[in-house]
Structure 1
Amino acid sequence: MDVAARTKDTTLKAFFKLCRQDEFARTLLYPDVPSYYVWIKKNTWARRKCETNVGGYPGVKKDATLGRVFTVPPSRQECFYLRLLLEDDSQWDATMAEGALLKLPSALPHLFTTILQMCEPCDPKSLWDKYKDFLSEDILREAQLMCPTMALTFNHEIYNRALIIIENLFVEMGGGSLAAIGLPTPDRVASSSLSPEIGRETSYSVEEINAYVTTNEPKLLVDQMAAYDAVLASTRQDAGSIFFLDAPGEREKRS
């Protein structure tokens, strides 16, 4: 009898065999197996016989148990990388969601960077897109304190500052540029200062502006409409014109 035949199956190897034989098992990730199967003395997975039926799969039952799935150390390279193939980013998504729920915006960039460096998620860009507001919350709050009279919201400058912080942390942890792992490249020159002027010009609500224009455009007088049309035409043509408006302060305002 050769060595391979004498070697007992590990839980991971047995899972591979199970997937060849069991259609339902092929729908699972390895960490989910103990919810539907039990590890028996024959070194194999067997379907659970109690608990809740799974719709569409006769004979399959789910238990809310926290079963034990043994980890695979990196030193066992073949098994380690095979296990990686069975994983997705759902666990890192859940980790970020929990961090956001705890309302710790100052700590969230550190958590996100740790996931990037230590856990190597498959799609970092999707995690960033989903949680960028939470990751940028502290920066927005700082900008709002600097400019209390402006209705600042999340914008490109805010996100850019967050990316710079994350990239700095990533480098400190031994990583490289964010671009190398598929994240947007932060613009460090543009983010040298988050000035009130930049905040004012980039923080606005398109919906509110459209509503304001729709309401007030019909109220313009003939001369006002002429000036309004001239400014719009210059803007749309990128002409860079200069306009002088003669509007004495004493003149009665008309609506």
Structure 2
Amino acid sequence: MFTQWMESTTKYENARELSYTDFPTKWVWHSQSKTWKRRKSGKCIGHIFYVHPSSGERFYHRILLHIVKGAQSFEDIRTVNGVTYETYKATCYALGLLDKDEEWHEAIVQAAQWSTGSQLRQLVVTFLLFCEVSDPLKLWENNWDLLSEDIMYRQQKLLNFPKLRLTEA
């Protein structure tokens, strides 16, 4: 169905006005001939299967199928303003569809005012498991100092060595 959608957008100009999810509102899938044909009457709502955010590129591809209209190839789906991106995720960034994780950074900074280091790390794990953190490495790089603030104290107690000093590295 998906590749035939792209073929239809190649053949029919009016098919280029629709995203993949909107396509069934104007076109009907004929499973025996494995082709899309122009809908004569009525209307249908398109359905796309759920993809969990942890599915990586599949997730970002799915996001784009709601936005991109008239794609005639996989490259078209990854193209924004004449620039073809390497990944669907990069394409989503270029379109401004993904947050810059500012809400997660801000939540860590606010929680650091009253939370222990252990609680902050649990908070980040929650973000990574249940929220849509778009760049986990950047989240770590921007907040590692807050997340590891209690490490020296914990190591001093664990080793019973109050004069222990750890470098940032």
Same fold, judged at TM 0.5 (above)? no
Class of the TM-score when normalised by the shorter of the 2 chains: 0.3 to 0.5
TM-score (normalizing by structure 1) = 0.27
Greater Rg over alpha carbons, structure:
1
